[in-house]
Structures are given as structure tokens and as C-alpha cells.
Amino acid sequence: MMCTKCRRREAVYLRPYSGEILCRSCFKRSIEMKVRDTISRHKLLSRNDSILIAVSGGKDSLTLLKTLWRIESRIPGVSLAALTIDEGATERYRVEGLKLSRKICEDLKIPHYVVSFKEYIGYTLKELWSRTREKGLELLPCSYCGVLRRRIMNTFAKDHGFTKIATGHNLDDEVQTFIMNIMRGDYSKLFRFGASMEVISGFIPRIKPLRYIPEMEIAFYAFLEGFKLYEAECPYVRLSMRDEIRFMLNEFERKYPGVKFSIMSVMDKLSKQLSSLNKTYFKSCISCGEPTSRDKCRVCEIMDLIKT
């Protein structure tokens, strides 16, 4: 069967929501074009941006690294670097990711940094979880892992003069988060992260160039790029509500192709209409001085919880 785009090469990928059947080369090009299109449509990059890419070593972050690296040459003055955060979840999970991240950064000649939870807050994620359970706190690791990773990324970027943080969130991640916030009744989070980046004092703007690409397509891109498959998944993922929402949305997408894009279109419209109506005002944390919408930031709150 021939590619419906170039009509010359053999097709390898069927895109259910559009009906396209693509060859390797047209498929890869379509992903790269989508990233470029997202960046230009939402004005995610400017001349002389210095971008810190959050790289775990998984398919999303490696795809982000590779596509941004391809785009970099077209935008004058843009420079790239990668940061891997070592949560210390379990040995094997992070060791694999670190090795893969280091390898690809070496190949692409991109500076690669590593910061661990342990050196930043004194505990690994595993130790944090043990402590919360010892204290009888019903906190899933995901609830503070994300908070801490975002803090480390922001602090690191500020300290090293980066102007943007790029993360590998894909369509599935974004849509899952949206549905999860609805199910939790977390209204204020529904429009906090739209397509365009927010500029808030004290925060390095975060961009998500893969936001409109389904997870499945990123996995296939990563496979075509020959990225080594990163088999170990975060050992805590099966504990989370997100995982159930992921499964549910995949079932709906299988039956009704395009559902995830429809949800994303609602998210973008909501964020456009609501973000101006619901400004979050940030102040300085009374304990550490970092920007926060509360009196004491979540990071200090978590540290208080496990220390006392």
C-alpha cells in the first residue's frame, strides 16, 4: 500500500482520525511540521532564546529533544540544553533514563545537566514516600513528585540563565490532566495551562511543543528514530487516577477517533476565555521566597509534613 501523501513510498502508519496512510518519511516529516507549526502559531520561541529541555530519557522527551534540535538551526540565536531530574524512584527506572538521555545529548552535542531530588531537598522520592507512609499520610508520590520536579526545573533555569523551559507533554498527557481536574472539581486548574505560555514573574516560561501530538504517534516517531525503548515505567504510575483516565480515554479514542483532539479544542477555547477572568496572583513564599499562589509554597508544605 502506497503513502497517501507522497504516493511514492510504502505506507507504514495509519492515522485513524484523518484517514491518512503514511510512509516513514512523510510520517516523520508530519511530526516535525506539527512541532514547528505549534511553536510558530503560539509564538513559543523568540530569537536568542536559551531553552532548557526537560529530558527523562522516555520517548516524549527524546522526541522533543530531536525535533527541537532539528528546528534550532532555523531560528537565529536559539540554543539548547537538557536537564534530567533524578527523582530516585528506584534504581533501575532512573538509571536507564539517565543513560539514554546522556547518550543522545552527546550525539547531538547538546549540554546535559543532572540534578537529583536527593541533592536538592535531601531525600529521594523513595525516601519521601517511606516517610509519608510512616507518618500515616495518604499522599501518593505523584502528588509531590510533579511539584518538586517543576521547582527544580524552574530554579535550575533561573540560576543558569535559561529563558524557556520545554517539556515533552503530549496530547494524551494534556487531555488526561484536563479530565482529571474536572473529575476532581479543580476549577482553577482548568485554564491555567493553555497553548500559549504564561509570563509570570519568578517563573521561567514553560513551553510544550508536543502538545498537539498523540502519544501513540510520538511512540512511533521514537521507534522510527531508533531511540532505544525505555521499558521501565515509573514504578508509581499504577497507583494513580491518571492511569485509569488514560485507559478510559484510549478506549474512547479507539471507538471514536478524534476524541482527544476534540477535548483539546475545548481546553484551548476555555483557556482563552477563562484565563483573563481568573488571574492567579503570585506572591513570595513566607518560608523560601519562591513564587507561589499561597502563603507557603507546596514544596515547603511538603517538607514541613515529612519533617515534623
Binding site for a second copy (CB under 8 A): 179, 182-185, 187, 190, 241, 244, 248, 252, 255-256, 259, 261-263, 265-266, 269-270, 273-274, 277-278
Residue 74's SS3 state is coil
Q: Which is nearer to a second copy, 223 or 256 (CB)?
A: 256
Q: How far is the CB of 82 from a second copy (least distance, A)?
A: 35
Neighbours of 29 (CB within 10 A): 14
Exposed/middle/buried for 201, CB within 10 Å: 0-12, 13-18, 19+?
exposed
Q: Which is nearer to a second copy, 43 or 269 (CB)?
A: 269
Task: Please answer whether residues 203 and 291 qualify as being in contact, where contact means their C-beta atoms are separated by less than 8 angstroms.
Answer: yes
In this structure, what DSSP letter does residue 57 have? S
Q: How far is the CB of 54 from a second copy (least distance, A)?
A: 28
Q: How far is the CB of 186 from a second copy (least distance, A)?
A: 8
Q: How far is the CB of 244 from a second copy (least distance, A)?
A: 7
Q: Which is nearer to a second copy, 113 or 261 (CB)?
A: 261
> What are the Cα distances from residue 37, in Å, to 27, 91, 209, 212, 215?
15, 38, 9, 10, 18
Q: How far is the CB of 262 from a second copy (least distance, A)?
A: 3
CA 230, 231, 234, 238 dihedral sign is positive
Spatial distance between the Cα atoms of 29 and 197, rounded to a whole number of angstroms = 25
> What are the Cα distances from residue 221, in Å, to 2, 28, 64?
19, 6, 11
Q: Which is nearer to a second copy, 182 or 286 (CB)?
A: 182
Which amino acid appears at position 152 of this protein? I
Q: How far is the CB of 270 from a second copy (least distance, A)?
A: 8
Angle at 106 between CA 104 and CA 107, to 5 degrees: 65
Strands 11-14 and 21-23: antiparallel
Phi/psi of residue 138, each to 5°? Answer: -90, 70
Q: Which is nearer to a second copy, 59 or 260 (CB)?
A: 260
Strands 291-292 and 21-23: unpaired
Secondary structure tally for the chain: helices H, strands E: 11, 9
Q: How far is the CB of 272 from a second copy (least distance, A)?
A: 10
Q: How far is the CB of 182 from a second copy (least distance, A)?
A: 5
